């Protein structure tokens, strides 16, 4: 019997597969399908700060000339606009037998703690904070941006008692340094990585258009590197996100150091049976290698557990390029 159970963010999961934050986690019927397919936990679609601000602007326009009423309704509007989200959390908790992780995606520091508190009140088992920001101002330094992220995480962790995971973009100079600071700020987990929306240009109309929203199976290599470098070196559970389409890539990410592996594009492409297929792939591989538990596999090939840490740096890169014309 293969034991795939894991502890992620202090929660017990029957297996390490998570539904990643996306539209598939925006309604109860889809969440039920994901759990029936065998998912170990679900991350709900993110509640976006911009969505709520857009609703507020409509309210503001309607109340022009009545500033007191506008101020009052602004406060109300912020919560009202998110009521569907808190209801979704409560519904998911009532109807699913796997942990429910809510997700917030915001830009301004002051916004987060209030919503985090309401998310906790609605019954979520944990919170994932998507901090995938794209800086636009040339005046902000990398150090300032990172400090703002750390401060935001600290303010949320002070406001709630449920565990917090942070979903990061991959363009930080030293993710391990940031990870250590986020752990100090109270985060219990790190999701590597957020996939930024892609931009494209329509040459017929010479206008901007969205690029492809889904990843491809090569994307998992980005997470693999940083999981392998970070495993065991920051007091955080690591989750992989990006490019997991089969059991083999999930196994590789776990061997590198992931405690949880998130699925999104694979489920958009293959439907909910993709979750079952990944699980079956994993158990077949483990059975064929006589690996009986997640624990035996976890971090097996991380830098920390390696007799040759130098292979995790430039040596591999140089070896890969030598002989390539």
Give the footprint of ligand FMN on this chain (CB under 6 A): 20-23, 45-46, 103, 105, 130, 167, 194-195, 213-215, 219, 241-244, 263-266
Give me the DSSP letters along 150-198: HHHHHHHHHH--S-EEEEE-S--S-HHHHHHHHHHTT--EEEE---PPP
Q: Residue 322 carries which DSSP code?
A: T
Q: Which is nearer to ligand FMN, 70 or 270 (CB)?
A: 270
Q: How far is the CB of 126 from ligand FMN (least distance, A)?
A: 14
Q: Which is nearer to ligand FMN, 107 or 293 (CB)?
A: 107
Q: Which is nearer to ligand FMN, 279 or 291 (CB)?
A: 279
Q: How far is the CB of 117 from ligand FMN (least distance, A)?
A: 20
Q: Point out which residues pair with 241 in neighbouring strands.
A: 262
- What is the DSSP pairing of strand 207-210 with strand 199-202? antiparallel
Q: How far is the CB of 237 from ligand FMN (least distance, A)?
A: 16
Q: How far is the CB of 104 from ligand FMN (least distance, A)?
A: 9
Q: Which is nearer to ligand FMN, 17 or 291 (CB)?
A: 17
Q: Which is nearer to ligand FMN, 229 or 239 (CB)?
A: 239
Count of H-run helices and E-run strands, the chain? 13, 12
Q: How far is the CB of 194 from ligand FMN (least distance, A)?
A: 6
């Amino acid at each position: 019997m293969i034991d795939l159970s894991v502890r992620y963010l202090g929660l017990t999961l029957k297996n390490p597969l998570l539904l990643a934050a996306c539209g598939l986690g925006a309604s109860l019927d889809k969440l039920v399908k994901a759990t029936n397919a065998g998912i170990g936990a679900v991350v709900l679609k993110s509640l976006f700060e911009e969505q709520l601000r857009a609703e507020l602007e409509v309210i503001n326009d309607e109340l022009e000339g009545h500033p007191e009423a506008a101020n009052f309704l602004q406060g109300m509007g912020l919560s009202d606009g998110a009521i569907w989200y808190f209801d979704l959390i409560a519904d998911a908790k009532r109807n699913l037998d796997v942990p429910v992780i809510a997700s917030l995606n915001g830009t301004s520091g002051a916004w987060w703690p209030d919503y985090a508190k309401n998310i906790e009140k609605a019954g979520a088992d944990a919170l994932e904070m998507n901090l995938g920001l794209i800086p636009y101002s040339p005046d902000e330094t990398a150090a300032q941006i990172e400090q703002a992220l750390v401060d935001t995480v600290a303010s949320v962790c002070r406001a709630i008692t449920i565990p917090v995971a942070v979903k990061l973009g991959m363009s930080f100079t030293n993710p391990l340094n940031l990870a250590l600071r986020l752990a100090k700020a109270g985060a219990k987990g790190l999701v590597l990585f957020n996939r930024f929306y892609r931009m494209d240009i329509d040459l017929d109309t010479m206008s901007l258009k969205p690029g492809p929203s889904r990843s491809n199976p090569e994307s998992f290599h980005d997470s693999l590197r940083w999981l392998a470098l970070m495993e065991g070196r920051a007091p955080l559970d690591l989750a992989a996100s990006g490019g997991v389409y089969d059991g083999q890539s999930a196994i590789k990410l776990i061997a590198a150091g992931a405690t949880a592996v998130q699925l999104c594009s694979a489920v958009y492409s293959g439907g909910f049976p993709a979750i079952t297929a990944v699980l079956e792939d994993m158990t077949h591989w483990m059975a064929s290698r006589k690996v009986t538990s997640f624990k035996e596999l976890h971090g097996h090939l991380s830098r920390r557990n390696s007799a040759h840490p130098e292979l995790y740096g430039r040596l591999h890169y140089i070896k890969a390029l030598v002989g390539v014309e």
